[in-house]
Amino acid sequence: MRHRPEHILRITAPLRGLADRFAYVFLLAAAFAILILGKADPQIFERARMTVTDITAPVLDALSRPAMTVASTIEEVKELGRLRAENQALRSHNIQLLKWQTTARTLMAENEQLRGLLGFGADPEVTSVTARVIGDSGGAFVRSVLVNAGRRDSVRKGQAAAVGNGLLGRVAEVGERSARILLITDLNSRIPVVIESSRERAVLAGDNSASPRLQYLPITTRVKPGDRIVTSGHGGVFPSDLPVGVVTTVAKEGVRVRPYASADRLEFIRLMDFGLNGMLDEMLPRDGAGKARGQLGKAAGSE
Amino acid sequence: MRGSATWQTLDHVARRMTPFLITMGLVILSQVPMQLPAAVALTPLLALISVYFWALHSPELMPAPAVFAVGMLQDILSGVPMGLNTFILLVVYGLVVSQRRFFFGKSFAVLWWGFGTLCVVIAAFQWVLTSMLSGAAVPALAIIADYFTTAAVYPLVAYVFVLTHRNILRED
């Protein structure tokens, strides 16, 4: 009984070797072909990708919970130690914020009055979905995360993703119950932005490092470290004036921006629907994001 | 009698599938957000360790189609261009299987050194490939850090595989 498989193996070994070698070469060629095809048309494998992601999403969801629990427990213990100092800081912070609140209220009332006088149309209403991060490859080649909300939670491609008050990225791929968020630090991310104080336009281009660069700035720009960067709203993907980050370095090699939204320890992400999304798909029927980003880049760069 | 033969076949198949299933599990596990600050969040390429180990010790337990499937799952879950990890893992597989004779009967230190060397070569290869695909030189430091971590955790992961391997061979 035990001898038979070995016997067969001995006869078929050279044949199998040949078949294995052929299979290997075939698979290697297939992988290369997939790589080239995907480069030519990034959308081509999207459905396959999101189907597999949807299948693994529940597993990732379950696995990410204990990791998060452990992390938050450690964080809580750490916080206990600095409770006193933090309390004091928060109190003074609170006094400051209360002053700001008064200012904001006054401005809001005034703004409303002025808008009423001008007959200015109100901004579309924002609805948002909060999703949990279930997948974070953390690899060196891509800056994206998976979240546990998808089409059934009315998440759509192109929606802005934010943490706290800063822009984190945008929805790049949507499955039934999961979605992939392309972070603004990713190599493929291009966001039309303006410098808040001067209203100069630029494109925020990620390069897989923690601080994306500003591209297509006017030559006469007077950008300096500390300037706030907000979305410009051009291209109709994001609304305008969403906080993005702050300029850290201005050098010959480029202007670097530190995003407000940190990609460390992501737990929950807000996916915001500004009633603007879908414009990308309408404008460009098939190839959505890639070409649209190119066009946005050009549009912002030409002005 | 026939029943027991069926069970034996099933048992045999299950055992042969173990390395593949473990590797698929490792690919999924490496996607779980660890909630660490970015400075500490080095990501060992567990699938690479697995492919190296099994290609070296018993390629019949990790045939090329299995490597292909592992690479595809990693490509899909990590969001890199489709085919990138698949291609790289298959190249590694081919390299290691062709060099098996050299590593045969060598000590663990030699195998580890072999893996470290492979990491250097593959890191450079992946940097070139990624830069070509994206049309710009991508930052190399993060790639080097990932491969360094991978080489560093090799003994730990390999130890688990050695136990698995022994278990499969003993009963097979």
Residue B91 pLDDT more than 90? yes
Number of cross-chain residue pairs from A and B with Cβ atoms under 8 Å apart: 151
Give residue A106's pLDDT. Answer: 93
Does residue B64 belong to the interface with chain A, where contact is any CB pair within 8 Å?
Answer: yes
Contacts with A12 from chain B: Cβ below 8 Å: none
Across the interface, whether the CB atoms of B35 and A33 are under 8 A apart is answered no
* pLDDT tens digits along B50-74: 999 999 988 888 999 999 999 999 9
ipTM of the complex: 0.86
Give residue A90's pLDDT. Answer: 92
Give residue A7's pLDDT. Answer: 55
For residue B28, the one-letter residue type is I
Question: How long, in residues, is chain A?
Answer: 303
Across the interface, whether the CB atoms of B38 and A263 are under 8 A apart is answered yes
Contacts with B16 from chain A: Cβ below 8 Å: none
Question: How long, in residues, is chain B?
Answer: 172
Residue-level pLDDT, tens digit, chain A, 303 residues: 444 555 555 555 556 677 888 899 999 999 999 999 988 887 888 888 899 999 999 998 888 888 778 878 888 888 888 888 888 999 999 999 999 999 999 999 998 888 888 877 666 677 888 999 988 876 666 788 999 999 999 898 888 899 876 899 999 999 999 999 999 988 888 899 999 888 889 999 988 888 899 988 888 888 889 999 999 888 777 888 889 999 998 887 789 999 988 777 788 899 988 766 444 544 444 444 444 444 443 333 333
Q: Is B128 helix (H, G, I), strand (E, B) or coil?
A: helix
Nearest chain A Cα to B145, which residue? Answer: A140
Q: What's the pTM value of the predicted model, to 2 decimals?
A: 0.78
Contacts with A265 from chain B: Cβ below 8 Å: 35-37
* Nearest residue to B30 via CA among A56, A92, A242: A56
* Nearest residue to B61 via CA among B90, B23, B116, B103: B23
Task: Say which residue, A182 or B169, is predicted with more confidence.
Answer: A182
Neighbour tally for A118: CB within 10 Å: 8
B interface test, pick of A2, A8, A27, A43 with most B CB neighbours within 10 Å: A27
CA A84 – CA A91 distance, rounded (Å): 11
Does residue B73 belong to the interface with chain A, where contact is any CB pair within 8 Å?
Answer: yes
Nearest chain A Cα to B84, which residue? Answer: A35
Average pLDDT score over chain B? 86
Does residue B40 belong to the interface with chain A, where contact is any CB pair within 8 Å?
Answer: no
Q: Which long-range contacts (CB under 8 A, 24 or more apart) does A17-23 make?
A: A20/B63, A20/B64, A23/B63, A23/B64, A23/B65
Contacts with B60 from chain A: Cβ below 8 Å: none
Does residue B30 belong to the interface with chain A, where contact is any CB pair within 8 Å?
Answer: yes
* Nearest residue to B31 via CA among B73, B69, B2: B73
Give residue B86's pLDDT. Answer: 94
CA A107 – CA A113 distance, rounded (Å): 10
Across the interface, whether the CB atoms of A52 and B77 are under 8 A apart is answered yes
* pLDDT tens digits along B94-111: 999 988 888 888 888 999
Alpha carbon of A174: minimum distance to chain B alpha carbons (Å)? 12
* pLDDT tens digits along B135-168: 778 778 878 888 888 899 999 999 999 998 888 7
